[in-house]
Amino acid sequence: MTRPPSGEELKVCCAAAYSSDVVALLLGASYHPGGTALTRRLADGLALTPGARVLDVASGRGTTALLLADAYGSDVDGVDYAPANTALAQGAAQAAGLTDRARFTTGDAEHLPHRDGVFDAVVCECALCTFPDKARAAAEFARVLKPGGRLGITDVTADTDRLPPELSGLGARIACIADARPLRQYTQILAAAGLSTLRTERHDDAMLRMIDQIEARLNLLRITAAARLTEAGVDLTAAPAVLAAARTAVADGVLGYALLIAERNPRLA
């Protein structure tokens, strides 16, 4: 009997997947539904002011962090589990002339390498759903926030009891589906960490658009880069079935995408 992967093994798998060039080709610049338009909506909900200290958890290749540094004048720290992503994000900051306002560190969301109470805001896009210990990550968000500081999340939501088999394996977990939770459960996890939800929004249409984009890019890759995929040892034969199941799950209300703004309790010790 094959044992289930440990939390650390899951983190390594996710980090390897999201730092690969193939995933970058499939997902585009923003690794989450809604792209930079939804990131801007999230930032507006955080009421960011120039110079605000912001932490971007699971910062990937730096798209969100650099947008916040450039468009909002924030002082942003990004942290990501994959060293390759950290290096790419730092290179992107240098290319954009934003190294004075954006810096990147390799680290674990469940053990953030930052002091208590130093950030005005924390953002985490399409990543909490992949963290093995969500309660621990939420506690870390609260720890590094200043009293009254805000948390902004965009993430996959799922009715876990109704997920089809195609969306419940390790691959689906890496794809931000298999361990996603209902929106109300995310708010409960945050509340237990001392983070009060101020606002939630549904953006399920963004999930459908991303499925369509991934399908189109996948078909293009098969035509233009089949040999490259084979050389890289990438097997995407199951992808069409997973995408079809995901599209049906969104239509049936089983799968979706949401925006959430929360605030750290000013009296939280």
Q: What is the pLDDT, as a whole number, of residue 76?
A: 98
Q: Residue 3 above 50 pLDDT?
A: yes
> Cβ contacts of residue 67 below 8 Å, gap of 6+?
36, 39, 40, 43
Q: Which whole-number Å values give the CA distances from 147 to 36, 53, 90, in the listed order?
A: 28, 13, 29
Domains for the chain: give ranges and CATH numbers: 7-263 (3.40.50.150)
- Check whether 4 has a pLDDT greater than 70: no
Classify 258 as helix, strand or coil.
strand
Confidence of residue 31 (pLDDT cuts 50, 70, 90): low
Say yes or no to pLDDT of 5 above 60: no
pLDDT digits (tens, 9 = 90+) for 46-59: 999 999 999 999 99
CA 65 to chain centre: 12
Between these two residues, 23 and 163, which has the higher pLDDT value?
A: 163
Q: What is the DSSP letter of 166?
A: G
pLDDT at residue 261 is higher than 70: yes
Looking at the predicted structure, is the pLDDT value of residue 237 above 80?
Answer: no
Helices and strands (H and E) in the chain: how many: 11, 7
| Highest-pLDDT range among 22-36, 42-56, 163-177 | 42-56
pLDDT at 18: 53
CA distances from 182 to 163, 185, 238, 260 (A): 12, 5, 25, 12
pTM of the entire structure? 0.86
**Residue bearing the bigger pLDDT, 224 or 127:** 127
